[in-house]
Structure 1
Amino acid sequence: MATTHEIKVERRDDDGRGASRRLRKTGKVPAIVYGGELAPVSIQIEHNDVWLASQHEWFYSAILDLSLNGDVQKVLLRDLQRHPFKQQLMHLDFQRVDENKAIRISVPLHFLNQEKSPAGKKAGVLISHALNEVEISCLPKHLPEYIEVDLANLDVGDIVHLSEVQLPEGVEIPELRLGKEHDVAVVTAQEMKEEVEAAPVETAVAGATAAAAPAAAPAAAAKKDEKK
């Protein structure tokens, strides 16, 4: 089970753009909690606290504990709005989690042992990560903060497909149920080929013309002598 993380919040009564602007000037971020059988609730969070949390990978894929005066609700981050150029969070959306219902969320992929693999040890081999995250479905109690992809046996020419990723207990990838065409590549290892530069055509033609010019000059001189 993934580790949960507590974030302290406060309830807010004022809504609207004007109220949100005033709130941000006081160093807080407006947010909303929705979902489940409860009505949506407008909340506010200390900007520094949630900013620090947003620098961690788990903030985007883990179950979060929103604590309102000791009343804890388990949620997932569903949307985050940032300022266009300032290091400032503008608004957050959280969705309540039902422990008995499966959730769908994208989690990051962590690639292990790439440098120790046969492909990683060979020079001139390009190892590409086609995916850095994957959408999964599971009950909240089975939610992993990330999924590990072991590349210890990766060799030149190998392709690791989505269906080959080892999933934790109780976790599935819904996309794989849609058919083989959705079993996309996650990692590829290809040998890089050196390109041989061909001589420019224009240079070759120019050289041929220049070589022919001296030969043409004596022929022209001979015709002038005949006329005389």
Structure 2
Amino acid sequence: MSHESYELKAEARERVGKGSARELRRNGLIPAVIYGDKQAPISIALSTNEVTKRIHAGGFMTTIATIEVDGKTYKVLPKDYQLDPVRDFTMHVDFLRVSGNTQVTVEIPVHFINEEKSQGLKAGGVLNIVRHEIEVQCPADAIPEFFNVDLSGKKIGDSIHISDLTLPKGVATVIADRDFTIATIIAPAGGVDETVEEEGEAEA
């Protein structure tokens, strides 16, 4: 499962537009919108500090939040946010309403484990990561936090494909027409340590 759900308090925005947004930011607030689920969009304002903390904590785009607006609560999933290109602060956030039946498309980070058990890496090979994230479709209440890719026994020239991963029930990759590559182990420019490779093969 993804990160633990959290709550945010918001206030409804009566006025929208650039002037209103600038005024909100001067007052330490971020303009945002809640949309989807066949309901009218709701314009809201959130605490800049609270949202920024959530973004930097990781998993922001894959964690369901509960937003309280004027006594009503909404289950949402962040779908997009904008950062100021110069000062790097959050300028706007889009939230999608979700329920238990909502299917969402999200990018799940890939973690590589057991690098010390890879013969190719011990011999000086280099892990060439093709995809740092994998785009999947899944229920909103069952978003994986990350995918683990096990490098145990991988040698120079080996590739890891999506078929090497066991996806949780209900989770499907957006790319479904091919067995795409996640990473490869390639030889370094100076060649490999053949002794380590041979030792690894002997152990195997």
Return the TM-score normalized by structure 2: 0.86
Letter in 2 for 1:141: D
| Contact 2:9 2:67 survives alignment (8 Å) | yes
Against the structure 1 CA distance between its residues 7 and 110, is the aligned structure 2 distance closer, same or farther, given a 3 Å change threshold?
farther
State the 1:193 CA deviation: 4.1
For the pair shown, which has the larger CA radius of gyration, 1 or 2?
Answer: 1
Aligned pair 1:189/2:185, yes or no?
yes
- SS of corresponding position for 1:163: helix
State the 1:145 CA deviation: 2.1
| Contact 1:5 1:64 survives alignment (8 Å) | yes
Q: Determine which structure has the larger strand proportion and give its number.
A: 2
Residues in 1 aligned to 2:28 and 2:74: alpha-carbon distance in whole angstroms: 23
- SS of corresponding position for 2:137: strand
Residues in 1 aligned to 2:75 and 2:163: alpha-carbon distance in whole angstroms: 30
Residue aligning to 1:44: 45
State the 1:135 CA deviation: 0.7
Cα deviations across residues 111-142 of structure 1 (Å, max 9, x unaligned)?
Answer: 1112332222222x111111000111111232
Residues in 2 aligned to 1:150 and 1:88: alpha-carbon distance in whole angstroms: 36
Identity fraction in percent: 33
Letter in 2 for 1:128: N
Task: Tell me how large the CA RMSD over aligned residues is.
Answer: 1.8
| Contact 1:10 1:68 survives alignment (8 Å) | yes
Q: Which runs of 5+ in 1 are unaligned?
A: 196-228
Residues in 2 aligned to 1:61 and 1:6: alpha-carbon distance in whole angstroms: 15
Letter in 2 for 1:187: A
Larger RCO: 1 or 2 (CA < 8 Å, sep 6+): 2
Residue aligning to 1:34: 35
1:155-194 map, 5 Å: 155-176=155-176, 178=177, 180=178, 183-194=179-190
Residues in 1 aligned to 2:54 and 2:38: alpha-carbon distance in whole angstroms: 27
Letter in 1 for 2:94: D
Deviates more, 1:84-93 or 1:114-123: 114-123
| Contact 2:13 2:43 survives alignment (8 Å) | yes
1:44-193 map, 5 Å: 44-69=45-70, 71-123=72-124, 125-176=125-176, 178=177, 180=178, 183-193=179-189
Residue aligning to 1:203: none
Cα deviations across residues 67-121 of structure 1 (Å, max 9, x unaligned)?
Answer: 3355332211111111111131111111111311322111111111123322222
Tell me the number of residue pairs that the alignment of Structure 1 and Structure 2 aligns.
Answer: 190
| Contact 1:32 1:93 survives alignment (8 Å) | yes
| Contact 2:34 2:95 survives alignment (8 Å) | yes
Letter in 2 for 1:186: I
Residues in 1 aligned to 2:145 and 2:8: alpha-carbon distance in whole angstroms: 17
Moved over 3 A (4+): none
